[in-house]
Amino acid sequence: MRRLGLLLLAAGVGLAFGPARAELVLRPTRPAPTDLEVSGPFPGGRTNGFLTRDQLLALPPTLATNAMDTAVKSRAVYRGIPLLQLRSLLGLDGRADTLFAVCSDGYAKAFEADYLSAFQSLLILEINGTGPETWGRSKLTGLEMAPYYINAADFAPRPDQNVLGLPEDLHFPYGVVRIEFRTAASTVDRLRLPGTASASAKQGAVIAVRDCLACHGHADFGGTMSGRPWLLLKTWSSNTNFFRRYVVKPKSIQPASSMPGFTHYEAPVLDALQAYFRELKIGELRR
């Protein structure tokens, strides 16, 4: 994907009403299904609320062109708000280094600090000039794209993020209904292993957080769509044959499984994943 750069336009509305921050007053309830829920340690003590689509449209827009959008399967011009800008406008800088984009089906993708600063992911309000009512379904999965979509126009996997030959993945959740502003310490870091763990298990931890957490959450973070939490994966990891076959080709074990198979995983990746879940000690899981 070619880097086309971001074009910042100041919206007339933003200028007329002064600092955008004053406009981001959270509503206590969801006035419409097209509104966005946000949660986090907001200044003033609130921990969740709603932003209307009109509030988001009134912010100075960022425009970015993606030469080939993975879900739309064509060139796409985005109009949106950078997630980092949204965090600032909500007064959460320094309070939330990690965020989760939660979708209507319980899928919840983690955006870690380094990813956020590398790729300028946008909360997308319009694609090619039109709103969510015209977006339809993802050409990749057939799932509804509305009400919010997050993507980055200038993504290219960073070579230093390769693990066992697997490049880092583009984060492009759609059907997003909530953004949770969290910290790494209270979420993903709790799933990492201590320094004494094997090298393979540590590589497995990176892959598991990247590829499994969005559907298999732990405690109050990560996805709920599988209905199978993180520690159940640990249980299954001791059954080598089941675990490896399930991860690569779920339907070969459960014909009705709705989990996508990781057919590109080679044996060393499966070894690392298994090592990770085996070395993860429930008692030591950081709180």
Interface with ligand HEC by CB under 6 A: which residues? 211-212, 214-216, 225-226, 228, 232-233, 236, 243, 246-247, 254, 257-260, 262, 273
Q: How far is the CB of 249 from ligand HEC (least distance, A)?
A: 12
Q: How far is the CB of 258 from ligand HEC (least distance, A)?
A: 4
Q: How far is the CB of 216 from ligand HEC (least distance, A)?
A: 6
Q: How far is the CB of 223 from ligand HEC (least distance, A)?
A: 7
| Residue among 85 and 237 whose Cβ is closer to ligand HEC | 237
Integer-rounded Cα Rg, in Å, for the chain is 20
| Residue among 130 and 235 whose Cβ is closer to ligand HEC | 235
| Residue among 88 and 257 whose Cβ is closer to ligand HEC | 257
| Residue among 117 and 258 whose Cβ is closer to ligand HEC | 258
Instruction: Please give the distance of CA 117 from its chain centroid, rounded to a whole number.
Output: 14
C-alpha torsion sign, points 66, 67, 72, 78: positive
Q: How far is the CB of 84 from ligand HEC (least distance, A)?
A: 25
| Residue among 74 and 141 whose Cβ is closer to ligand HEC | 141
Encode burial over 222-247: b for 16+ CB neighbours within 10 A, e otherwise: bbebbebebeebbebbeeeeebbebb
| Residue among 46 and 245 whose Cβ is closer to ligand HEC | 245
Q: Report the length, in residues, of the chain.
A: 287
Q: How far is the CB of 38 from ligand HEC (least distance, A)?
A: 23
Region of 44 (left: φ > 0; alpha: ψ -120 to 50; beta: rest) is left
Structure tokens at 150: 């997050």
Q: DSSP string spanning 33-93?
A: TTSEEEES--TTS--EEEE-HHHHHTSPPEEEEESS-TTT-S-EEEEEEEHHHHHHHTT-T
